Structures are given as C-alpha cells and as structure tokens.
Amino acid sequence: MSRIVVLGSINMDLVNHVAEFPKPGETVHGRGVEFLPGGKGANQAVAASLAGGGVEMIGAVGRDSFAQPLLDSLRERGVGTDGVLAKDGTSGLAFITVSDAGENEIILSEGSNGQVTPEDVGEERLAGASAIILQNEIPWEANVHAMKLARQAGAKVIYNPAPVRPIPAEAYTLVDLLVVNETEAEGLSGIPVADASDARRAAAELIARGAGGVLVTLGSKGSYYAESGADEDGLFTPARKVRAVDTTAAGDTFIGAFAAAAAEGRPPAEALAFATAASSITVTRKGAQASIPRREEIEEVLAAEAK
C-alpha cells in the first residue's frame, strides 16, 4: 500500500440547513445545527484512506472539547494521527449553511490550523511517502516547507490552493499536480473558466508557470486534466448525473480518491473515473467526512457503469 501524507486543516463543521440562503440583512429559520468533523485537509485524508490509501495526517487541533472528536473521526476512518499536534486555543471551525438546492456557503475560523509551523513538518514525516496533499487552510510557510521536503524525499506534491490566493512564481515548479476548481483556476490564471475549453486554456497557463500537471474540477460539468510535456490535448472526464443533496466535501473527496488511485499506479484516465465516481456518491449524502464513500462503494458504481 502506497503511503500518502496529508498536511492541512482539521475543522469542526457547524452545519445549518435552510430552504434558501439569507439575503444581506435577512434572518431565516434554520433546521437545527449539526456538529460534523471536516476541514479540507482532514476531508482529503479521509477520502484517500477510505479509497484504499495508507494515509498519515499532519496538522493541529486545539485544546478544547472539539479536539477529541476530530481525532476520533480520523482514526475511525483509518487515518494515522501521530502528526497531529495540540495547540493552545480552539480547534478550527467552519460555519456552513446548506440550502435545499444542495449548495453551501462557508465561513472559516482557522483556530489551531493557523498555528501550524514549518517545524511541525519534519523530514521523518515524509520518509517513504509516495505523495503529499496540501491546501491553503494552514500558513503558506508550512506548505512551501513541505513541498521542498517532498522534493528531497521523492514524494509527489498534490496542491489544492483553496481558498485561492496568489502562488509565488518560484513555487509552481515545486508542484507535481495543481488541483483547482473553476474559481481557483480563474483566480490563479486570470482566465475565466466555465467549461472544458476554458479549463484547457487555464491549465496551459498554469503549466507554463512551472506546474507539472493541472487538474481542473468543473462540478456538474466534469473535470479536465493535463500534464506538462504531454503530446495529448489533455483528458476531459464527464461528471455522473446524480441528485445532489449536499456538495460539502465533494471536491475533497475527488482529490483524495484521485490521489489514492494514482498512488496505486492507475493511469490518469482510470484514476479520474474513480475520483468522479467517489465524488458523485458524496454529493448524495449530508455532511463532510460522514458523506465520503468507501472503496467498495466506488468500485460498485464503476462496475455498474461498465455493464
């Protein structure tokens, strides 16, 4: 089993369901609050683990009542937590509103995630790893340090720059695969992305800056994948048609499942189909980590489609 390291955020999601999102100044009735373990880093770690990867998490929780449930959720789903440290203050919190249409709005309070330092990411954490997955919900200094360590260790860097912010020019060359949605692709490349053709142009721009490959997720329209130096025109994978209940963690599921499949040596087209099936299951369920499917469920979907 290939070993995948995930460095990133660990949050408790406070989820409120509403009929429609409130307009500015408007008060609407919620249907109760749920406390669900989440965070982009933790979600991606769970997705990779449930998809069959051997996963270790590096991150931080606070010294509060949320810390233990957050750790328990990772461990119960097969994620190693020796690299998760306790920091003073609160754990990361995400205040999520989900509408009846299945869309979500999220406010992040970084808490302990903002205290992750380069020193928390030691060389020993990356020894023997095939890949490391990173996001933007911890300080940039820790991310770039991990990228450099990964290069030295021979581990591939899979970077999901969300929430989006500019990437220093020199950092692109440290990234083996840049994974972005439409908004992030536009934010980085300056090219508006609405379809696969736009995604192709945005990916070409990001590869020109030094990224080894780019994967643009397009929600219900599918995804586009391109590699530096490849002769082909990239790979477009259509999305599966399902009824979305909650899109929370759909992108994280896609990334984790893709990383697990790629770590097994599956070719990109096969890994993309696997990730697409995984995320299509996630959106039919409520919650973040609770909605992420196991490998057997993903394989069942793929087997049914192959008939």
DSSP state at residue 79: E
> Looking at residue 131, what is its pLDDT?
98
Distinct helix (H) and strand (E) counts, the chain = 9, 13
Beta bridge partners of 249: none
Q: CATH number for 3-10+39-91+113-176+242-306: choose from 3.30.2020.30, 3.90.1640.10, 3.40.50.300, 3.40.1190.20.
A: 3.40.1190.20
Q: Which of 58-67, 87-96, 160-169, 242-251 has the lowest mean pLDDT?
A: 242-251
Is 114 assigned to a binding site? no
> Looking at residue 121, what is its pLDDT?
96
For residues 100-116, give the mean pLDDT.
Answer: 90
Residues of the chain above pLDDT 70, percent: 99
Residue 221: pLDDT band by 50, 70, 90 thresholds? very high
For residues 112-140, give the mean pLDDT.
Answer: 96
> Looking at residue 261, what is its pLDDT?
97
Strands 92-99 and 104-109: antiparallel
Q: Does residue 306 carry a pLDDT above 90? A: no
Residue 53: pLDDT band by 50, 70, 90 thresholds? very high
Rounded CA-CA distance 116/247 in Å is 27
| Burial grade of 10 (CB within 10 A; 0-12, 13-18, 19 or more) | buried
Beta bridge partners of 180: 216
For residues 254-265, give the mean pLDDT.
Answer: 97
Rounded CA-CA distance 163/261 in Å is 25
Is 251 assigned to a binding site? yes
Q: Per the residue annotation, which of 120, 176, 198, 252 is the catalytic one?
A: 252
Is 41 assigned to a binding site? yes
Would the pTM count as exceeding 0.85? yes
Is 246 assigned to a binding site? yes
Task: Note the pLDDT tens digit of each residue in 226-255.
Answer: 999 876 789 999 999 999 888 878 999 999
> Looking at residue 297, what is its pLDDT?
97
DSSP state at residue 127: T
Task: Note the pLDDT tens digit of each residue in 277-297.
Answer: 999 999 999 878 989 999 999
For residues 162-184, give the mean pLDDT.
Answer: 96
Q: Where are the domains of the chain?
A: 3-10+39-91+113-176+242-306
Mean pLDDT, the chain, integer: 94
For residues 259-267, give the mean pLDDT.
Answer: 96
100 is catalytic: no
Q: Does residue 177 carry a pLDDT above 70? A: yes
Is 233 assigned to a binding site? no
DSSP state at residue 229: T
Is 137 assigned to a binding site? yes
Strand order through the sheet with 223-227: 79-86, 54-61, 3-7, 131-134, 156-159, 177-181, 213-217, 223-227, 235-237
Q: Answer yes or no: are the C-beta atoms of 121 and 96 closer than 8 Å.
A: no
For residues 103-111, give the mean pLDDT.
Answer: 89
> Looking at residue 1, what is its pLDDT?
61
Is 27 assigned to a binding site? no
Its sign, for the CA torsion 140, 146, 150, 155, is: negative
Q: Answer yes or no: are the C-beta atoms of 216 and 199 closer than 8 Å.
A: yes
> Looking at residue 114, what is its pLDDT?
97
For residues 264-275, give the mean pLDDT.
Answer: 97
For residues 42-62, give the mean pLDDT.
Answer: 98
